[in-house]
Amino acid sequence: MIKYIVQGGSRLSGHVNISGAKNAAVAILPASLLVDGVCRIENVPDISDVRLLLEILRNMGASIRRFGRNTLEIDCSHVRNATAPIDLVRRIRASYYLIGAELGRFGHARVAMPGGCNFGVRPIDQHIKGFEAMGASVEQLGGYVCADAPEGGLQGGHVYLDIVSVGATMNILLAAVLCSGMTIIENCAKEPHIVDLANFLNAMGAKISGAGTDVIKIRGVERLTGGSYTIIPDQIEAGTYMAAAAAVGGDVTVDNVIPKHLDCITAKLREMGAKVTEYDDSIRVEAERRLRRSNVKTMPYPGFPTDMQPQIAVCMALAEGTSLVTEGIYDNRFRYTAELNRMGASIQVESKTAVIDGVTQLHGCEVRACDLRAGAAMVIAALCAEGTTTIEDAHYIERGYEDIIGKFAAIGGKIRRIETFEGSSQDAAG
């Protein structure tokens, strides 16, 4: 059990260095299964989702060497078709990428149904539709997804996604790179991490074009060989610190970012009254006055990301006037609003919209992190609040934020981490 004790009320100022993108890393690591050689991957975020995936790959026979905190060399040439351990797979949503990667490499995959944050039903029918378009037969048996290529292997196919899905786009890409012929994915997702996965695979010898547009073409190749690759900075981690600076107040520069990936967040914070200045690879957020109200609807990239919805809601909870947040991706991503209300926010959820009446002050109390981004939002709210806030279930936050306590400490945020082991309690960081 991990909890954070947050002391609110200090203004934030200074620099934060952004880590590699979680949602790129969790696809690129399984993608290394497709490579016949050593992949050197830099800027890998040191987060629990990544550690879990590495444990899964190790269990499957991959040899993995670490250089410092964020560089890995992964060699999967000796991995034989092995079922990833169910207890590990179920703990992470991104384990679904093992289906595409195993199917592409071995012509067969057997992977437990993935876990991950609970925002309502999260089906994988579009992933399956893509595998079937390449000739695979896919069944869901006893909690496992079993996929088999036809005799003679997967053949390039044409798939039009019914829903713009990040996971389906990446998974179909993974299955398609080594199959024969051309695969075309239409109405695909355009997130920066999709471009990053395609760039990684191309750096290893794949032939993928169109990533970042809504049509991706993959010409199958016989073999991928090793190489080096650096993962892009995390758009959502950067957005989280930008929202924190705007909500808490202060002067924060997020370094090692791609400002273009943050356009929608920059625009929203400017609209709400923060001063946001873009540099080549950093963004400065200055907020000295109370923010103004705004509305936002989450959408696939380049729209406002659902993974920033709870964090921007905290900005709105303290802004002047009434703001509306509409969730356009998931059925149920508002569970955290009840926790914010316990801190004194005034948020009413009506179906897919949260109506937020801005208040002037939040108050510290006991809350919980309902999921990864909700947890980040609780940290921001707690830093804004008067007094001390205890955030239970903070392990969710560590799935996707490298050293969040150290990074906030560097800009003046006071967070203490307490990890409780069965029967004992250990204060792990100051």
Which pairing describes strands 158-160 and 295-297: parallel, antiparallel, or unpaired?
A: unpaired
Give all strands (DSSP E) within 327-401, no chain letters: 346-350, 353-357, 366-368, 388-392
Q: Which residue, 155 or 235, is less far from ligand EPU as judged by CB?
A: 235
Min dist. Cβ of residue 14 to ligand EPU (A) = 25
Closest CB to ligand EPU among residues 94, 147: 94
**Residue of 108, 105, 106, 139 lying closest to 124 (CA atoms):** 139
Nearer to ligand EPU, 322 or 332 (CB): 332
Evaluate whether 292 touches 320 at the Cβ level (below 8 Å).
yes
The answer to whether residues 303 and 232 touch, using CB atoms and an 8 Å cutoff, is no
* Rounded Cα gap, residues 214 and 9, in angstroms: 44
| 327 in Cβ contact with 304 (< 8 Å) | no
Nearer to ligand EPU, 235 or 389 (CB): 235
Measured from the CB atom, the residue of 125 and 263 that comes closer to ligand EPU is 125
- Distances in Å between the Cα of 254 and the Cα atoms of 54, 194, 236 are 28, 23, 12
Polymer length of the chain: 430
Residues that bind ligand EPU (CB under 6 A): 22-23, 26, 93-94, 117, 122-127, 163, 165-168, 189, 306-307, 329-330, 372-373, 400
List the Cα angle 16/20/22 in 5-degree steps. Answer: 115
Which residue, 76, 141, 64, 66, is CA-closest to 106? 76
Nearest approach, Cβ of residue 277 and ligand EPU (Å): 27
CB 206 within 8 A of CB 177: yes
Q: Rounded to whole angstroms, how far apart are CA atoms 231 and 198?
A: 11
Peptide bond into 302 cis (omega under 30): yes
Query: Which residue reads 């893509």 in tokens?
Result: 130
Task: Specify the residue, 168 or 283, whose C-beta has the smaller distance to ligand EPU.
Answer: 168
Q: Assign 251 to helix, strand or coil.
A: strand
**Distance in angstroms (rounded) separating the CA atoms of residues 283 and 238:** 9
Residue 398 C-beta: closest distance to ligand EPU, Å: 13
Least distance from ligand EPU to the Cβ atom of residue 164, Å: 7
- Tally Cβ neighbours within 10 Å of residue 193: 26
Could you tell me which of 166, 215, 124, 160 has the C-alpha nearest to residue 329? 166
> Smallest distance from the beta carbon of 232 to ligand EPU, in angstroms?
13
Helix (H) or strand (E) holding 397: helix 395-398
Q: Please identify every residue annotated as catalytic.
A: 117
Q: Tell me how far, at minimum, the Cβ of 217 lies from ligand EPU, in Å.
A: 20
The residue at minimum Cβ distance from ligand EPU is: 167
Nearer to ligand EPU, 129 or 284 (CB): 129
